[in-house]
Structure 1
């Protein structure tokens, strides 16, 4: 950001400058904003608080990160970015091997993965997603376990202590994880508190975890922490994702696969 910016900026102009820098750089630091905008820490703190409350960014210690997009209803999400999700699903489905025990998480992208699994595949799928279980109902070679619990209507998954305990009883070969937000420093996060311990238990109980993520979710942050990004083995995302968004995950030694 240019040093020519002066304290004469109106509050709305200042906030717009903060959002422009966040969009360009993927994060902002409060100290840099104070220096570049030539205002006090209290002023920047108020600006970041106002932008956070407006849902335009997510405040973190020392600055702010992009906020994950507002969650749509499940039925609406199934219609969003369908070509991209189908391309990602094909790549992820090809990673599954016969005879494996799989966790397939909830989400519209993981639903597409279930739909792309080979019809002759012999495997065992453990899932908290009723739509995933239904999609696999005609795959006669796949043994499907739909874990019980209370239905989370926004996510269309089962949640609660019963669900977490059931996940903990399984040792899976592969976890195909639904991800709401992924940041190299903040890790895997979700907007739903009750989903976090279930996703965490799936990761802990799997030999390998693959995150299948549309590019718009990279570098974003939601409210509830699941696990560090380093717990992933593979990141499958869109080929349109800029290298600047992928490089931080490559530095973490994740295998990055694009589709």
Structure 2
């Protein structure tokens, strides 16, 4: 059997492996897939094109992600069980920044949800959110006002998303937005899917201050879709020392760092 024949006959098995890895990670680069599968990047790109033509994946710069609505990676409940202490510490540090009577925004994601959990029982301000777990938790805080911004349910993030969010936030203003992320590097803040952007951008536009919540794993993670550059961030709450060049970018942009 020729090398060319073997490569083509192995394609169905490779594509199955690609889909399994993608459902775990949500996003993979061509280089990562090449190393995992032991084939050239050209072969990987050929496999990805075929998967994209079948609408099983979405091609993005440098790699591939699941299409909007696809089941990507472990679900919200599983992610909530990873780096739990770090996320709780970050949530507590962020909640200490909230003043009595404040109006705050809480983004989707497991780390941002910890801000709601850490709010004092007597908090009597207002929470604006598209996070279903945050909305559920705030049922136990009857003194607080809660405004849910709606849209289509994104199951993996347990969040309500869609372009209609902008209409709902247009007349709102929040003092502080607690923003989550899938990954962070010196160029900015990233998430796994473009469908997450509408709600995040809508909340960012009405916030006086943007506080980014990052556990150490996000500083080495990869995600394909940029939310914003670090110049949009005012404060960073993080549980570990920042690696270079992220630390340099934080200094250049005058971002306040709050250790958790």
- After TM superposition, is the score higher than 0.5? yes
Match for residue 228 of structure 1?
A: 229
> 1:222: Cα distance to partner?
2.0
**1:214 aligns to 2:215 (yes or no):** yes
Moved over 6 A (4+): none
> 1:211: Cα distance to partner?
0.5
Aligned length: 201
The SS at the match of 2:174 is coil
User: Whole-Å Cα distance in 1 between the matches of residues 118 and 129 of structure 2?
Assistant: 16
Match for residue 171 of structure 1?
A: 173
Match for residue 88 of structure 1?
A: 90
Which range moved further: 158-167 or 215-224?
215-224
Describe the shift of the 1:99–1:224 C-alpha distance in structure 2 as closer, same or farther (beyond 3 A). same
1:146 aligned to which of 145, 148, 163? 148
Match for residue 102 of structure 2?
A: 100
CA contact (8 A) 1:184 1:219 kept: no
RMSD: 2.5
User: Whole-Å Cα distance in 2 between the matches of residues 156 and 167 of structure 1?
Assistant: 19
User: Whole-Å Cα distance in 2 between the matches of residues 86 and 123 of structure 1?
Assistant: 21
Unaligned 5+ runs, structure 2:
1-39, 49-59, 64-71
> 1:113: Cα distance to partner?
1.0
Normalising by structure 1, report the TM-score: 0.70
Which range moved further: 97-106 or 240-249?
240-249
Match for residue 134 of structure 1?
A: 136
Which residues of 2 match residues 33-44 of structure 1 at below 5 A? none
> 1:221: Cα distance to partner?
4.3
Which residues of 2 match residues 1-259 of structure 1 at below 5 A? 71-185=73-187, 187-218=188-219, 220-242=221-243, 245-259=246-260
Deviations 1:143-164 (A, max 9, x none): 0112221100011100112223
Deviations 1:92-127 (A, max 9, x none): 000011121111111111111100001111110011
Describe the shift of the 1:169–1:223 C-alpha distance in structure 2 as closer, same or farther (beyond 3 A). farther
> 1:246: Cα distance to partner?
2.7
